[in-house]
Amino acid sequence: MNNKILKPQNHLNTTKKKEVDNDMLNFSNTGDASKKYTIVDLFSGVGGLSLGFQQENFKLLLASDIDEKVEETFRKNHPNIPFFKKDIKQLKKKELNQILRNKKVDVLVGGVPCQSFSMAGNRIRTNIDNNLDERHFLFKEFMRIAKILKPKIAIIENVKGILSSHGGKIKETILKDFEKLGYVVDYKILNAADYGVPQLRERVLFVANRINRKNLFPNITHSPERYISVGEALKNIPELNHNLRELSGITLKRVKLIKQGKNWQSLPKELQTKSVHSGAYGRLNSKKPSKTIMTRFDTPTVGYVIHPIEHRTLTVREGARIQTFPDNFEFVGNTSSQNRQVGNAVPPRLSNAIAKQIKLMLN
């Protein structure tokens, strides 16, 4: 694969309208618009989790992440919101008081780094023991800040692997830590496609509250027969962050032979490739949701990242569409960094469905 920029094509377009002709990117605001609850976003990435809350009229007081390019993207899209770009261990009570100026925090959210819990990480490639991986214990920093801020509701989002990590001990520790802080906590596995995201993305959500409420999880809005497809999601792609990359050589030869919904296993034997990813060289099916968007979706060997029709991988903007970021949300940095920012994010449409239920709890 080389870096030649291709002229964008819109083979999936069926209309000249600039807007997406489905409701994928429309977020309705519920409840009393004059009532603004507050939120703090830890391990925020570019802010996908808190964005869905902002679309429900929550006021974001602070976001924090250690990645420099993430900070640039966040500030580009949220120029007036404080951003703490340091190791979260350095975010002490003094810094929080200075930034928040004694404002009360209603909701604390965090997408704790998940690579060490994910089967897409090193565990699938080697027999490395992750017992000493400090990312396993970053949720402790979330708990430390929850103890300082005392939010009414606290939310942790992560991959499913966290439930079985260390024989389930990580999950049990999270539950016990919340209970020690006086919270009632529940967790549930959510599939983003059930809430209007054109992607089969399963994540676990921990919801904890100390306001004597039943913990609410989002109501399913899309049954499998009503899932939003990749074909719908990739219509009328704008030019922002939409630079196409040309494939060449044997990579292009392979891609041209792969039909929708198929992968490297459908290739002639002489063109097949050995890969730890069973979905390598996978072409998306325009009539179905995407597989989970990862952090290297411009690389054919990582999974189902080939465009349904064109002989290329997804662009940053197409990945952002599948993640349900608004079309005016701009990603900053080189392509590799932008892909990582998109792939690590919580789909805003999913977080919006979560926010609706959290607002009901607070109301």
Place of tokens 């300082």: 148
CA terminus-to-terminus distance, the chain? 52
pTM for this prediction? 0.87
Q: What is the largest distance, in Å, between two alpha-carbon atoms of the chain?
A: 65
Catalytic entry in 39, 114, 233, 306:
114
Which tens digits make up the pLDDT trace of 224-240?
Answer: 999 999 999 999 999 99
**In angstroms, rounded to a whole number, what is the distance separating the alpha carbons of residues 319 and 303?**
13
Q: What is the mean pLDDT of the chain?
A: 88
Residues 233, 84 share a domain = no
- The count of residues in the chain is 363
Q: What pLDDT, on a 0 to 100 scale, did the predictor assign at position 33?
A: 53
Q: Are residues 217 and 263 in the same domain?
A: no
CATH number of the domain to which 218 belongs? 3.40.50.150
Q: Is residue 28 part of a domain?
A: no
Q: Are residues 208 and 72 in the same domain?
A: yes
Residues 243 and 309 in one domain: yes
pLDDT band per the 50, 70, 90 thresholds, residue 102? confident
Query: What CATH number should be reported for the domain holding residue 310?
Result: 3.90.120.10
The question of whether 114 is a catalytic residue gets the answer yes
What confidence tier does 15 reach under pLDDT thresholds 50, 70, 90?
very low
Give residue for tokens 């409840």: 31
Tell me the three state secondary structure of residue 298.
coil
Average pLDDT of span 111-131 = 52
Number of structural domains the chain divides into: 2
Mean pLDDT value across residues 286-313: 96
Q: Which tokens is 198 given?
A: 């054109």
Does residue 251 lie in a domain region? yes
The answer to the question of residue 27 being in a domain is no
